């Protein structure tokens, strides 16, 4: 028989799921590099710069960006034939603080 000495503190399942999604998105070295580049950039970065800088194909970069968009980290804008990416303007405070600690 298992003993029960105390109850676990309550943790919101929604909170845990959203933080896990964020950590999954940042858990890939390529995506973390992309986020760090966007964090340090003075202006949006073209997908062509990511392909050249990371030595990856456009579909691979698009896949990684889709994951970052799903996690609510980046937004994009089409200019002519190119797509430019930037960090979301209104990132939650705790996400900004996490990125600051990881990247700065």
In a domain, 9, yes or no: no
In a domain, 13, yes or no: no
Mean pLDDT value of segment 61-80? 96
Q: Which contiguous run of DSSP H or E holds residue 17? A: helix 13-26
pLDDT at residue 1, as a whole number: 54
In a domain, 59, yes or no: yes
In a domain, 44, yes or no: yes
Q: What span, in angstroms and rounded, lies between the C-alpha atoms of 41 and 101?
A: 17
Q: What confidence tens digit (pLDDT) does each residue in 13-36 have?
A: 988 888 898 999 999 999 999 999
In a domain, 65, yes or no: yes
> 82 by DSSP, 3-state: which?
strand
In a domain, 38, yes or no: yes
pLDDT at residue 15, as a whole number: 84
In a domain, 5, yes or no: no
What total of structural domains would you count in the chain? 1
In a domain, 1, yes or no: no
CA 28, chain centre distance (Å): 10
Global confidence as pTM: 0.85
User: DSSP letter at 10?
Assistant: P
pLDDT at residue 7, as a whole number: 80
Closest alpha carbon to 47 in 33, 57, 36: 57
The share of the chain scoring above pLDDT 70, in percent, equals 96
Domain of 98: which CATH number? 1.10.10.10
What residues make up the domain containing 91?
18-103
Q: What is the mean pLDDT of the chain?
A: 92
């Amino acid at each position: 028989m298992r003993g029960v000495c105390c109850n676990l503190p309550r943790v919101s399942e929604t909170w845990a799921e959203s933080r896990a999604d964020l950590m999954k998105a940042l858990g890939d070295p390529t995506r973390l590099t992309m986020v760090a580049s966007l964090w340090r950039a003075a202006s949006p970065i073209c997908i062509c710069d990511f392909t050249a800088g990371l030595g990856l194909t456009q579909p691979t970069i698009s896949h990684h960006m889709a994951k970052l968009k799903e996690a609510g980290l980046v937004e994009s804008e089409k200019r002519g034939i190119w797509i430019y990416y930037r960090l979301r303007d209104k990132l939650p405070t705790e996400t900004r603080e996490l990125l600051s600690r990881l990247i700065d």
